[in-house]
Amino acid sequence: MTSFHTIHLITSPDYLLHDTGGPDHPEQPSRLTAINKRLENGPLSKNLIKVDPVPATRESILLVHNEDYLLRFEDACLSGREYFGHTDNRICYDTWQIAFLAAGAGMTGVDIIESEEGRLVFAAVRPPGHHAEQGLPLGFCFFNNVAATVRYWQNRYGRKRILVFDFDAHHGNGIQEIFDEDPDVMYISIHEHPTFSFPGTGWDYEAGIGAGEGFTLNVPLPPGAGDELVIQAISDQITPAVNRFSPECIVIAAGFDAHGQDDMSGLDWSTLVYGKIGTAVANWADRFTQGRVLSILEGGYVPDALSASVETYLGGLAIKV
């Protein structure tokens, strides 16, 4: 019989309060409702420990965003504006507080891992974060949840070399921008080719800047790319890069919008491939981090496909062999 390691699931009903203005917006509260319902009723339910997130502090957000950006974001939310920056980035009054709660989930997860309460953490949060740059909201993202978690891990616990692997269909321009010149953070992203896809970054020649050169790896895939190309890229390019980097900690930007049913990208991944990605990540974690890995939700906009893909990913990550 298949058995699984314990997973700490960090989520909160408060994430539903981030109102994106109605059913026409793809980044819906129902995304999280579907994930929670599926996990609670599925094969992983007995292995899940649900944890409430602690909100990030302002100081911890200032490690990745600048003061002016925070003031502009706060003003946009609290003055009742409907969007921040681009009209895609819908906000409401509560978005300001909920963004701190989303960024804090990863930090809560770091505390769980460092206290040895758990090895596997999944933070099911919204708003997502990987497009948010130091001073720029983008693609439904306000605070870069993954980047803030990386900086917290380094500062609070003295960890140095951190791997970020991003398998969202879109390039995580924000994560790349924040760590571009930093040789201690390796950013690896697999995504739809920037010629065809938002946000237009993530070319294979973008490999880091200055001291950070060689610590960014972009693997763009052509539209229509299915499971085979993902599996091949993981074994031929990504796993060798992880081995060379030899991380102390692993943070995953877990987006599920490359799924064939999700029209936010032209990629055509199956539900099952997310299980294979999960197992590949678990293998890196076994090799380098005593099995410890923290995953944070990014995209994925068709609730059924998203929730099934999350469950399959976590199954692949947590399976006992």
Binding mask 145-184 for Zn ion (x = CB under 5 A): -----------------------xxx--------------
Residue 140 vs 245, nearer CB to Zn ion: 140
CB of 118 to Zn ion, least distance (A): 27
Q: What is the CA radius of gyration of the chain?
A: 18
Binding mask 112-151 for Zn ion (x = CB under 5 A): ----------------------------------------
CB atoms within 10 A of CB 226: 15
CB of 172 to Zn ion, least distance (A): 9
Backbone angles phi, psi at 55, to 5 degrees: -60, 145
Residue 47 vs 307, nearer CB to Zn ion: 307
Catalytic residue among 131, 170, 171, 191: 131
CB of 306 to Zn ion, least distance (A): 11
The first and second tokens of residue 207, run together, are: 């490999």
Binding mask 22-61 for Zn ion (x = CB under 5 A): ----------------------------------------
Tell me which of 137, 194, 299, 315 binds Zn ion, using CB under 5 A: 299
Tell me which of 109, 172, 174, 255 binds Zn ion, using CB under 5 A: 255
Residue 154 vs 176, nearer CB to Zn ion: 176
Residue 247 vs 260, nearer CB to Zn ion: 260
CB of 112 to Zn ion, least distance (A): 26
CB of 183 to Zn ion, least distance (A): 27
b/e map 114-124, b = 16+ CB within 10 Å: eeeebbbbbbb
Residue 38 vs 170, nearer CB to Zn ion: 170
Helix/strand/coil for 77? helix
Helix/strand/coil for 210? helix
Burial zone of 62 (CB within 10 Å; 0-12 exposed, 13-18 middle, 19+ buried): middle
CB of 255 to Zn ion, least distance (A): 5
Compute CA distances 260 → 28, 190, 273, 309, 312, whole Å: 19, 16, 11, 11, 15
CB of 74 to Zn ion, least distance (A): 26
CB 139 within 8 A of CB 198: yes
Stretch that binds Zn ion, among 51-59, 68-76, 249-257, 280-288 (CB under 5 A): 249-257
Helix/strand/coil for 239? helix
257 lies in the binding site for Zn ion (CB under 5 A): yes
Task: For residue 131, indicate whether it is catalytic.
Answer: yes
Alpha-helix residue ranges (DSSP H) falling in the chain: 30-41, 58-61, 67-78, 95-114, 145-157, 173-179, 227-233, 239-245, 271-288, 303-318
Q: How many CA atoms lie within 13 A of 173 on its CB side?
A: 22
The closest residue (CB) to Zn ion is 299
300 lies in the binding site for Zn ion (CB under 5 A): no
Residue 182 vs 262, nearer CB to Zn ion: 262
Residue 194 vs 299, nearer CB to Zn ion: 299
**DSSP-derived secondary structure for 169-191:** SS--HHHHHHHTT-TTEEEEEEE
The first and second tokens of residue 175, run together, are: 């994560």
CB atoms within 10 A of CB 149: 31
Count of residues making up the chain: 321
- Interface with Zn ion (CB under 5 A), residue total 6
Note the residues at the interface with Zn ion (CB under 5 A).
168-170, 255, 257, 299
Residues assigned a catalytic role: 131
